[in-house]
Amino acid sequence: MASNPVTRFIAESLKPLRDFFLVMFFFSLGAKLALDVVYTILLPATVLATVLLLAKPWVFRFLLVKLGESAQLALEMGVRLGQV
């Protein structure tokens, strides 16, 4: 049924409606956002993001070395996987 040409036609013709509801959804989320809460969360979120960005590559490196990979390869893979 998903490969039916009629299905593709219906999906294409409903894209503007989908986009409209996406805009309305994100607008309603933004309208409910309380800015005073943002300022209380900003410092902990920044600290957590920094710790994760610095720690994830080293955790991946440690685990990959434990699994038997070379240290150089484990470091490169850790840096690449730590960005995700």
Looking up tokens 């470091």 gives: 75
Query: How would residue 2 be classed by pLDDT, with cut points 50, 70 and 90?
Result: confident
Domain ranges, ordered by start, for the chain:
1-33, 34-84
For the segment 7-25, what is each residue's pLDDT rounded down to a tens digit?
A: 888 888 999 999 999 999 9
Q: Among all chains, which residue has been given the structure tokens 């240290």?
A: 71
Q: What is the pLDDT of residues 27-67, one digit of tens each?
A: 998 888 787 888 889 999 999 999 999 999 999 999 999 99
pTM, 2 dp:
0.52
pLDDT at 20: 95
Task: Please give the share of the chain, as a percent, with pLDDT higher than 90.
Answer: 49
Task: Provide the 8-state DSSP code for 16.
Answer: H
Residue 1 pLDDT more than 80? no
Specify whether the CB–CB gap between 79 and 57 falls below 8 A: yes
- Tokens of residue 62, six digits: 């440690």
